[in-house]
Amino acid sequence: MLLRLPSKLTHLPATTLLVLWAIALAFSHPIAWSQEQVSAKFFEERIRPSLIEHCIACHGPDKSESGLRLDRPELFKLGGQSGSILDGQKPVESLLLQALRHEGLEMPPNKKLPDEQIEAFEAWVLAGASWPEYVKELSVATDKEKISQADREYWFFQPLSDPAVPALGFSNPIDAFISEKLQAQGLSLGQNADESVLVRRLYLDLLGVPPTFDDLQEYLASPSVDAQGQSRYEGLVDKLLTDARYGHRWGRFWLDLVRFAESDGFKQDDFRPSAYRYRDYVISALNEDIPYSQFITEQLAGDELDPTSDRMNAATGYLRHWIYEYNQRDVRSHWDNILNDVTDVTGEALLGLGFSCARCHDHKFDPLLQKDYYRLQAFFAPMEPRYDIPSVASSVETRRESLEAWRECAEPVRGELEKLERETRSKVVDAAIEKFPPDVRPALRKTQAEQEPEERSIAVLAYLQIANELKGLDFSKKLNGQELVQWKFWKKHDEELKKGMPKEPEMALTVRDIGSRGPKVTIAGKPSAGEVYPEAPSVLGERFPLEVRSQGQSTGRRMALARWITDPDNPLAWRVIVNRVWQHHFGKGLVANASDFGRLGEPPTHPELLDFLAQQMIEQGGRFKPLHRLMVTSQTYRQSSYPLERAQGQAIDPENRWLWRFAPRRLDADQIRDSILVVSRSIDPRTGGPSDANDSNRRSIYQRVMRNSPNAFLATFDAPDGSVSVARRNTTTTSLQSLFLTNSAWMVRKSEGYAKRLMTQEQTSRARIELMFRENLLRDATDEEIRWIEQSLENPQGSDPSGAWSDACQALWNTSEFLYIE
Amino acid sequence: MTPSRRCMLQNAGFGFGLLALQALLGQNRALGLIPDATEPNSHKTHHHAKAKSIIFLFMEGGPSHIDLFDPKPRLEQLSGQPLPPSFKPIITPMGEYNAPLMPSKRTWKQHGNSGTWVSDWLPHTAQHVDDLAVIRSCWGNGLNHSNGVCQMNTGSTLGGRPSLGSWVTYGLGTENESLPAFVVIEDDDGKVINGPRNWSAGFMPATYQGTALHSSGDPIRNLSAPDPSSPQRQDSKRKLIDALNRKHQASRSIDSELEARIRSYELAYRMQSQAPEAVDLAQESHSTLQLYGIDEKETNVFGRNCLMARRLVERGVRFVQLYHGSGSRWDAHSGIEKNHSTLCRASDRPIAGLDPGDLGRRIRSYPHERKRGRTGP
């Protein structure tokens, strides 16, 4: 690598280092870091482990050689017989650093630390050698001791409480909880939004698309209270919750969370033809409103519930969304990465904890031990990706007869070919095996029955590559003489026969366990620390002794995990899921970092409400729809975004943390695209089935998700690329978005289509403008707006007047009014 | 002694973060989280950072560093022998575990006052060695091109992390809001391995993602108005959008995002005029074109891209990434002589051309995704 440098690089100040650490750290935590957090993180990752491992045995509570103790901050600063180990004037020449560099004193005495560790100390000393405030002493702790009382008492690990609804006279308990906090701030719930604003909000929120003008009119014309005394708004909520488009909207969030995509994600980025079945599973599960516990269990262990069920095979697609590299010879690392990926996503998405931080060391802020990471991973370790289970079991049956008939003709030819190809094949396989690392090869030469559990999944990955090589084999280049002539003869027949071969059934993207016995799982890099078993994290372990029962061809581990995660007594999953639902309705969760409820996130703004909602969801059988209903019928949800009385709210709580108004938000990528499809009436209403490769007129959830070539529209508006779990999409405002919305061929097609219809439907300019406002912005145009549009029509537009109408319509789609929910 | 350098180099996008950071501290115009970490004690760099922008030249496919910048005399002696046992077991993608070692066929010379070794494949670049810092200790753990390129761009072999250009724009913002802050130019559109994932913002907001510049048609996607023949038409649409949005925003001033949206249209409009100008080489003198090798067939394509990059950074673009050999073309295997001769010929002069007078404000880099070993058939 070559750098062209502006000038010679010399010493760098320590702040530089800390800032850089902030950057490096932000790689793993997309949240803002305070100076204290950055310093603490540096201390925890680079300094503490070294002090414990290399120093405190001799300079600690047991022995304090030369009167020096490095296990407590005050003793560290005090120094030893040789005085202070830090030099305030010339920090670089501090005794501590000299000793570490083996200049004079040599510490540790036997072996100098690796350069990068010494450099870490240097940087730390230059920055002031500060210890995080909470570190009172360092000690080598046992696993059990590592979990402190404070850890055990951390709010997230406490059982769900049963908070009493504040008696403030609200019929919806959410309003009572919210009002209580608002009152404490000297605020109160604001006025309700206009009904038409509210109806639009509800449609976009529950269905992902706006109502049509007719929908809105119908609603406004209906009696405000029905015969049963239910308000028309509540009636609408019920109606929308049974609308199938609900699943399209809310399924999207789940797909983001599990980093759903339909391609491998590496060089080849191969398409996964049956991945869509997982998407359809999610949509239908949400529309059917199956209990959350069932939803999770089917995805984690559907194969153990019913291996013959197509639905379960689709659901376990959850375990197949990892990126796959078709030519990765280092299959061992590849399998590790796959397991890490599944572990990380499960930790974040289902448990709301940043497990990935504990992959290489104990989590520095949360009581998650490195061992806990591998405990979680051990649930997944026995799984094996399968490529031979049809997506639709019955397709095998229906195909059987025709296949048998075909085989009768084909088999003799195939037999001849097979005879001629056998030797070459076996040579190619042998050579292919040799391309794998030596420690992998023995497993590849064993039969499946001979393979140890630790060898199985690695062998599966290797076999995929070998099969790929065989597939690309050209025998015409491998055979000679008479054999070649014969081969060509039979091959020609075979090609003919192939044309009549019944179509291969589509194979499911699913998994099975390798058998009833799982592989031995150890901590990466620490095999001597012994086997790690599937268990709940230490901090909760005592309360949740897990029972893993193998069944048939499964270890039963994933089933045990699913049972634990969805146990009503497990405090994690239920808080996490209700918070996600809250976040999508209100724009921000009660816990702001929806996938990290640990200390790196923010504490809940309304802890009682969070527990109340979790309890409610459990009481409702773990179903989502009653929870949605509770939220969207609250007055909190129905507030205006721009209450007339807002001075106080703005002054006291400009961030709207306490919800004195409904926070407006930009539509997300899917909502924008789908809204335009709806208002332009170009939407293709067909649902389900394989995704559309070329930007079709179906909803965005049906557009194909290729990790390396994302849909241009969706990517421009912050849609995730399916690589990592996304709990909440970013919202950006960029000029590239403006360029897309004003100039792209897609927009032009849609607006031209719209203009054409508009011009046939209405004859006068005024009528057209009025209709356009109603259809797109769900309201009447003002006189001023009518004038503006008319002016824009007057400008020279060439010969085609439809162009001007198309532009005017595009302009409406570019308004903030159209692009925001309020 | 440079206490923190190595660890920084390892931890932030293979070192460019460090350079960006110097600029950041020097200019104090950081955004986002970074000011929090620098403010309290107002530490400053001991010298004013000069680099304002980065041109990141990515030779895709993995040029053989031991044939370009990193001579290995011992390889001569070990020619034909297996890898010495002092090496740990290696994993190679193509399974050449026992192939004998093969020396480089290049002629090597030390250049400049620094005496940096450069092979005869890069005669033009060799004339500028004193402006170069050659880092020979860089390592990665991506075995294949895909994950190597990913790691070189994002620091991780797995996808999903922000790319270097994203970090730099995140840290430094932009100097010209009418152009994208982070621009990517491929020498063969759409061929670069991993595609846009290499310049994605990962988990960061899309504001920081790279914008691909195209060599034909609109340089930036959707840049020109649908009906370029009628500027009035575009103008009238723009005014209409503006009027409607301003009216809407007037009663909603508490949400600054709405104001930002209005501004984004103004910026988009300015980009429409500035971007084509920025990449229009017609204004360059004959001697400049010559400097970049635009006068020769072999060097024309990459020369144009290099000159475009220079024009972009001159206009305040923060980070320009140029791909050369898009589609892993530097991946030579047994055909290294022909392959590298051609590709070095195509890129050496254009890269050396990137040497304008104010180069001090720019960092040019020449990384690739993999460490090359050298074994014979």
Domain ranges in chain B are: 5-219+279-365
| Sheet strands (E) in chain B | 53-59, 108-111, 116-119, 132-134, 182-186, 211-213, 319-324, 362-365
pLDDT at A364: 84
pLDDT exceeds cutoff 80 at A347: yes
- State mean pLDDT over A452-480: 92
Q: Does B127 touch chain A (CB under 8 A)?
A: no
Q: What does the block give as tokens for B70? A: 């990193």
pTM of the complete model? 0.82
- State mean pLDDT over A765-788: 96
For B261, which residue in chain A has the nearest alpha carbon?
A733
> Which one of A24, A267, A789 has the shortest CB-CB distance to B144?
A267
Q: Does A737 touch chain B (CB under 8 A)?
A: yes
Contact between chains at A738 and B268 (C-beta distance less than 8 A) = yes
Q: Does A485 touch chain B (CB under 8 A)?
A: no
For A817, which residue in chain B has the nearest alpha carbon?
B248
pLDDT at A128: 86
Cα dihedral angle (A460, A461, A465, A470), rounded to 10 degrees?
Answer: 10
pLDDT at B376: 45
Contact between chains at A12 and B203 (C-beta distance less than 8 A) = no
Q: Exposure of A523 by Cβ count < 10 A (0-12 exposed, 13-18 middle, 19+ buried)?
A: buried
pLDDT exceeds cutoff 50 at B13: no
Least confident of A161-170, A361-370, B118-127: A361-370
Helix axes A481-499, A393-434, angle to 10 degrees: 160
pLDDT above 90: percentage of residues in chain A: 66
Contact between chains at A710 and B196 (C-beta distance less than 8 A) = yes
User: What part of B 174-233 touches A (C-beta under 8 Å)?
Assistant: 177, 180, 193-197, 200, 202-207, 211, 220-227, 229-230, 232-233
Alpha helices in A5-94 (DSSP H): 14-26, 35-42, 48-50, 73-78
Bridge partners of B58? B323
pLDDT at A772: 97
pLDDT exceeds cutoff 80 at B20: no
Q: Does A232 touch chain B (CB under 8 A)?
A: no
Kindly report the backbone phi and psi dihedral angles of residue A535, in degrees, each rounded to the nearest multiple of 5, phi listed first: -150, 165
Catalogue the long-range contacts made by B252-259 (C-beta closer than 8 Å, 24 or more residues apart): B252/A641, B252/A642, B252/A664, B254/A642, B254/A646, B254/A650, B254/A654, B255/A664, B257/A666, B257/A731, B257/A733, B258/A816, B258/A820
pLDDT at B31: 32
B134, B178 in Cβ contact below 8 A? no
- State mean pLDDT over B155-177: 88
pLDDT at B49: 65
Which of the four pLDDT bands, split at 50, 70 and 90, describes residue B21? very low
- State mean pLDDT over B144-151: 87
pLDDT at A31: 44
* d(C-alpha A403, C-alpha A387), whole Å: 20
Which pLDDT tens digit goes with each residue over A549-566? 998 889 999 999 999 999
Longest dimension (CA), chain B: 79
* d(C-alpha B162, C-alpha B201), whole Å: 4
pLDDT exceeds cutoff 70 at B26: no
Contact between chains at B245 and A122 (C-beta distance less than 8 A) = no
pLDDT exceeds cutoff 70 at B45: no
pLDDT exceeds cutoff 60 at B14: no
> Which one of A736, A784, A820 has the shortest CB-CB distance to B211?
A736
Is A596 or B94 the better-scoring residue by pLDDT? A596
Cα dihedral angle (A162, A167, A168, A171), rounded to 10 degrees?
Answer: 70
Show residues of chain A in contact with B177, CB under 8 Å: 735
pLDDT exceeds cutoff 60 at B39: no
pLDDT at A814: 97
pLDDT exceeds cutoff 60 at A1: no
pLDDT above 70: percentage of residues in chain A: 94
Contact between chains at B193 and A788 (C-beta distance less than 8 A) = no
Is B56 or A3 the better-scoring residue by pLDDT? B56
Q: Does B275 touch chain A (CB under 8 A)?
A: no
Average of per-residue pLDDT values in chain A: 90
pLDDT at B100: 87
Interface size between A and B, measured as CB pairs under 8 A = 360
> Which one of B3, B94, B230 has the shortest CB-CB distance to A126?
B3
User: What part of A 623-662 touches B (C-beta under 8 Å)?
Assistant: 641-642, 646, 650, 654
Least confident of A94-108, A141-155, A666-680, B329-343: A141-155
Q: Does B250 touch chain A (CB under 8 A)?
A: no
Which pLDDT tens digit goes with each residue over A309-335? 999 999 999 999 999 988 899 999 999
- State mean pLDDT over A24-51: 66
Q: Which of A743, A748, A752 to mutate to test the interface with B (most CBs of B within 10 A)?
A: A743
Element (H, E) at B240: helix B231-250
Show residues of chain B in contact with A801, CB under 8 Å: none
Q: Exposure of B166 by Cβ count < 10 A (0-12 exposed, 13-18 middle, 19+ buried)?
A: buried
Contact between chains at B236 and A795 (C-beta distance less than 8 A) = yes
Q: Does B236 touch chain A (CB under 8 A)?
A: yes
| Other CB atoms within 10 A of residue A8 CB | 7
SS (H, E, C) A683-713: CCCCCCCCCECCCCCCCHHHECCCCCCCCHH
Show residues of chain B in contact with A815, CB under 8 Å: 241, 244-245, 248
pLDDT at A723: 87
Cα dihedral angle (A740, A744, A750, A755), rounded to 10 degrees?
Answer: 100
pLDDT above 70: percentage of residues in chain B: 81
Show residues of chain B in contact with A114, CB under 8 Å: none
* d(C-alpha A310, C-alpha A316), whole Å: 10
User: What part of B 280-319 touches A (C-beta under 8 Å)?
Assistant: none
User: What part of B 326-345 touches A (C-beta under 8 Å)?
Assistant: none
Q: Which of A1, A641, A740, A782 to mutate to test the interface with B (most CBs of B within 10 A)?
A: A1
Judging by DSSP bridges, how do beta strands B182-186 and B211-213 pair with one another?
Answer: parallel
B42: left (phi over 0), alpha (psi -120 to 50) or beta: left
* d(C-alpha A331, C-alpha B93), whole Å: 11
Q: Does A5 touch chain B (CB under 8 A)?
A: yes
Q: What's A52's DSSP letter?
A: I
Judging by DSSP bridges, how do beta strands A820-821 and A665-666 pair with one another?
Answer: antiparallel
For A642, which residue in chain B has the nearest alpha carbon?
B252
Show residues of chain A in contact with B172, CB under 8 Å: none
Which of the four pLDDT bands, split at 50, 70 and 90, describes residue B15? very low
pLDDT at A24: 36
Q: Exposure of A78 by Cβ count < 10 A (0-12 exposed, 13-18 middle, 19+ buried)?
A: middle
| A172-181, B142-151, B169-178: range with highest mean pLDDT | A172-181
pLDDT exceeds cutoff 90 at B40: no
pLDDT exceeds cutoff 80 at B24: no
For A93, which residue in chain B has the nearest alpha carbon?
B1
pLDDT at B365: 57
Judging by DSSP bridges, how do beta strands A522-523 and A526-531 pair with one another?
Answer: antiparallel
Show residues of chain A in contact with B207, CB under 8 Å: 732-734
Give A742 to chain B, closest Cα distance, Å: 8
Q: What does the block give as tokens for A586? A: 């209100």
Give A736 to chain B, closest Cα distance, Å: 7
pLDDT exceeds cutoff 60 at A32: no
pLDDT at B209: 87
For residue B151, give the nearest of A2, A715, A266 by alpha carbon: A266
Which of the four pLDDT bands, split at 50, 70 and 90, describes residue A4? very low
> Which one of B17, B225, B362 has the shortest CB-CB distance to A20?
B17
Q: What's A752's DSSP letter?
A: H
Give A7 to chain B, closest Cα distance, Å: 7
Is B262 or B34 the better-scoring residue by pLDDT? B262
* d(C-alpha A582, C-alpha A588), whole Å: 7
- State mean pLDDT over A389-408: 89
User: What part of A 751-790 touches B (C-beta under 8 Å)?
Assistant: 784-785, 788-789
* d(C-alpha B308, C-alpha B361), whole Å: 17
> Which one of B4, B220, B359 has the shortest CB-CB distance to A14?
B4
pLDDT exceeds cutoff 60 at B16: no
For A820, which residue in chain B has the nearest alpha carbon?
B258
> Which one of A1, A646, A807 has the shortest CB-CB distance to B367?
A1
For chain B, the 3-state helix, strand and coil shares in percent, each to the nearest 5, are 45, 10, 45
Q: How far is CA B63 from CA A519, B121, B145, in A?
A: 41, 11, 12
| A53-67, A257-271, B199-213, B215-229: range with highest mean pLDDT | A257-271
Least confident of A207-211, A541-545, B110-114, B267-271: A541-545
> Which one of B50, B236, B247 has the shortest CB-CB distance to A6?
B50
| Sheet strands (E) in A611-763 | 665-666
Contact between chains at B171 and A265 (C-beta distance less than 8 A) = no
Which of the four pLDDT bands, split at 50, 70 and 90, describes residue A751? very high
pLDDT at B145: 86
Which of the four pLDDT bands, split at 50, 70 and 90, describes residue B366? low
A792, B239 in Cβ contact below 8 A? yes
* d(C-alpha A631, C-alpha A172), whole Å: 9
User: 3-state class of A80 per DSSP?
Assistant: strand
Show residues of chain A in contact with B265, CB under 8 Å: 735, 738, 742, 814
Contact between chains at B237 and A10 (C-beta distance less than 8 A) = no
For chain A, the 3-state helix, strand and coil shares in percent, each to the nearest 5, are 55, 5, 40
Which pLDDT tens digit goes with each residue over A559-603? 999 999 999 999 999 999 999 999 999 999 999 999 999 988 889
For residue A163, give the nearest of A570, A568, A609, A582 by alpha carbon: A609
Kindly report the backbone phi and psi dihedral angles of residue B79, in degrees, each rounded to the nearest multiple of 5, phi listed first: -50, 130
pLDDT at A525: 84
A361, A275 in Cβ contact below 8 A? no
